[in-house]
């Protein structure tokens, strides 16, 4: 039962809120199929269905977005992650997820003072020369105030909302347990990998809750981009920064969304588009550590055609192997080499989980081949990546989460570039960098370094082989050799056998009641009901009720199985 699976009475109140929101937004059937409604009713909670009929008239993507916004910061963050999973969801869903934001009022400064005193050591007005009581912006996890340090530096103070960690941790516990039930009980959800998505969400939220970690990310990226003088990353003031608060330099620039001011200030929009692309491509292709959410709200344009990036709570990481595979994919797309693209994508999606790989490979090759002879300036790299993920989605294949985040960043970057310059072409900007990085990989020094690393790893493995063989033989002699076999859905089969045994036991009890009641009916004397022996009559009534329950249980089980198929 789900209530045992949840295993934490402290989360029942939050579970009731979540289930109520889902029911009101037209997901009552899902709530019942997951067992949430039965579990809550047994625990004494009743689900409300206010406005469910009105909300049910909306399209499913809209219903889902509204439900997520009402559920709070954890679910909004999950929706923002799903907005980058074009390999799992269609365009209508992605468009709705991209609109997600939390409708949250700012926390009054009086409610923040106790936390600020703990983190700063005194009242903010005493620590800073000036501290604005009204926030510049408020989000679901933190809010931002402007201030000036005693040294005269203009800064922003980012403050985590009090109590937000406890709320998020409770939501993550519930999501993890519900995802486990959904993955086993709702086969249609398995291609979406709910447990993997929840783990990805948990990692992302844990990083965002630590505001000091955001500053470490900013400094790492600032060091990587130091070779680009036209790119600015806000300076961190570590003397004020802790887990629940960070202080960074205030950026006085034009927000990336205000393109009219860019032109009015006389900035070169074409140059800004190229410089932004160079910065993000360097982060992704060369450094393997990149700003994972480069939307217009996180970008500012400054005098001198400089660009500033802010908010490094969400970053992406790419291993050296992933970067090499990415280079092959992007070069394959830009230079129209379909086999290279197909090889990389098939490696990324694993064994295909039953997909027809020959058909998939043919579709990818046909997709890339259609661009043969197309001028480089006419290639829309972001759209090409989006189309490739559509092909994967149609084959029910999912990309690893780090690559989905990367593709989202690419698509966002190309959209920003075209906003600045309608003639902007990501492929034109990317090709020189891709070729430069590829050439650097095959220089003698780089080849020698990789050969030495490969040789060292090979020698380490060879050195370990005798020890491993000796340990295996020793365990075999002692009879301690173990063979682990994992059978998929074994627990589900056990549950089905348990239910079948329960129904069989009930059927035997019903049969015994019928036989026993028939015998009692032939015995004269004793109490009567409606002119019949009372115990015989009650036995027949119990048998009828048990039979009705048994038939209903069998019908519901068959109906649920047919629905899953």
DSSP 192-245: G-HHHHHHHHHHHHHHHH-HHHHHHHHHHHHHHTTT-TTEE-PPB-TTT-BTTE
User: CB of 242 within 8 A of CB of 212?
Assistant: yes
Give the list of residues 6+ apart from residue 114 with CB closer than 8 angstroms, or none: 162
d(CA 443, CA 457): 21
Burial category of 324 from C-beta neighbours within 10 Å (exposed 0-12, middle 13-18, buried 19 and up): middle
User: CB of 145 within 8 A of CB of 157?
Assistant: yes
Give the list of residues 6+ apart from residue 455 with CB closer than 8 angstroms, or none: none
The structure tokens 């970067």 sit at: 323
User: CB of 99 within 8 A of CB of 69?
Assistant: no
Quick one: DSSP state of residue 315?
A: E
The structure tokens 């923040």 sit at: 112
Q: How do beta strands 231-232 and 306-309 pair? A: parallel
Q: Residue 394 is encoded by which pair of tokens?
A: 């149609």
Count of residues in the chain: 565
Query: Which H or E run includes 91?
Result: helix 91-98
Active-site residue, selected from the candidate residues 119, 171, 293, 311: 293
Q: How do beta strands 532-533 and 137-138 pair? A: unpaired
User: CB of 124 within 8 A of CB of 147?
Assistant: yes
Reference 247, options 128, 395, 418; nearest CA is 128
Give the list of residues 6+ apart from residue 491 with CB closer than 8 angstroms, or none: 184
Phi, psi of 239 (to 5 degrees): -65, -20
Q: Residue 130 is encoded by which pair of tokens?
A: 């000036």
The structure tokens 């980058």 sit at: 84
d(CA 94, CA 112): 35
Reference 248, options 160, 123, 147; nearest CA is 147
Dihedral of CA atoms 472, 477, 479, 480 in degrees, nearest 10, equals -30
Catalytic annotation present for 29: no
Q: Which residues are catalytic?
A: 293
């Amino acid at each position: 039962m789900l209530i045992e699976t949840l295993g934490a009475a402290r989360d029942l109140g939050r579970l009731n809120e979540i289930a109520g929101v889902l029911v009101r937004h037209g997901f009552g059937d899902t709530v019942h199929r997951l067992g949430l409604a039965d579990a809550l009713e047994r625990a004494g909670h009743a689900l409300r269905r206010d406005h469910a009929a009105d909300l049910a008239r909306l399209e499913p993507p809209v219903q889902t977005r509204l439900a997520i916004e009402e559920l709070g910061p954890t679910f909004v963050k999950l929706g923002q992650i799903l907005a980058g999973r074009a390999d799992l969801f269609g365009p209508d869903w992605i468009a709705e997820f991209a609109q997600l934001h939390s409708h949250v009022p700012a926390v009054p400064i009086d409610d923040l003072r106790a936390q600020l005193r703990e983190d700063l050591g005194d009242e903010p007005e005493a620590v800073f020369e000036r501290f604005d009581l009204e926030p510049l912006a408020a989000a679901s996890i933190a809010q931002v105030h402007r201030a000036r340090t005693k040294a005269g530096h203009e800064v922003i103070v980012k403050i985590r909302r009090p109590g937000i960690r406890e709320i998020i941790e409770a939501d993550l516990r519930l999501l993890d347990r519900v995802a486990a039930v959904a993955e086993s009980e709702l086969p249609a959800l398995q291609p979406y990998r709910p447990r993997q998505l929840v783990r990805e969400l948990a990692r992302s939220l844990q990083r965002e809750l630590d505001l000091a970690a955001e500053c470490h990310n900013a400094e790492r990226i600032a060091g990587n981009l130091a070779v680009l003088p036209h790119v600015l990353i806000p300076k961190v003031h570590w003397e004020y920064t802790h887990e629940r608060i960070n202080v960074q330099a205030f950026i006085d620039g034009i927000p990336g969304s205000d393109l009219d001011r860019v032109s009015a200030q006389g900035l070169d929009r074409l140059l800004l588009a190229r410089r932004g692309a160079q910065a993000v491509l360097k982060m992704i292709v060369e450094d393997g550590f990149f700003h994972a959410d480069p939307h217009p709200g996180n970008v500012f344009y400054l005098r001198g055609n400089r660009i500033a990036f802010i908010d490094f709570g969400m970053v992406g990481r790419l291993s050296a192997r992933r970067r090499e595979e990415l280079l092959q994919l992007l070069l394959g797309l830009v230079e129209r080499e379909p086999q290279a693209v197909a090889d990389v994508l098939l490696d990324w999606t694993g064994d295909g989980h039953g997909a027809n790989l020959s058909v998939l490979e043919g579709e990818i090759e046909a997709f890339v081949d259609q661009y043969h002879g197309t001028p480089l300036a006419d290639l829309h790299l972001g759209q090409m990546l989006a189309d490739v993920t559509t092909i994967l989605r149609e084959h029910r294949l999912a990309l690893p989460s780090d690559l989905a985040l990367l593709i989202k960043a690419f698509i966002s970057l190309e959209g920003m570039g075209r906003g600045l310059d309608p003639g902007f072409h990501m492929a034109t900007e990317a090709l020189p960098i891709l070729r430069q990085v590829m050439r650097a990989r095959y220089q003698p020094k780089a080849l020698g370094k990789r050969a030495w690393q490969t040789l060292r790893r090979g020698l380490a493995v060879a050195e370990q082989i005798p020890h491993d063989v000796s340990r295996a033989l020793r365990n075999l002699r002692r009879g301690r050799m173990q063979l682990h076999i994992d059978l998929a859905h074994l627990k589900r089969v056990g549950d089905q056998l348990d239910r079948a045994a329960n129904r069989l036991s009930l059927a035997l009890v019903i049969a015994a009641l019928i036989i026993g009641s028939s015998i009692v009916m032939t015995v004269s004397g004793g109490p009567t009901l409606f002119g019949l022996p009372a115990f015989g009559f009650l036995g027949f009534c119990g048998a009828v009720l048990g039979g009705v329950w048994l038939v209903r249980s069998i019908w519901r089980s068959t109906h649920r199985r047919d629905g899953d198929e």
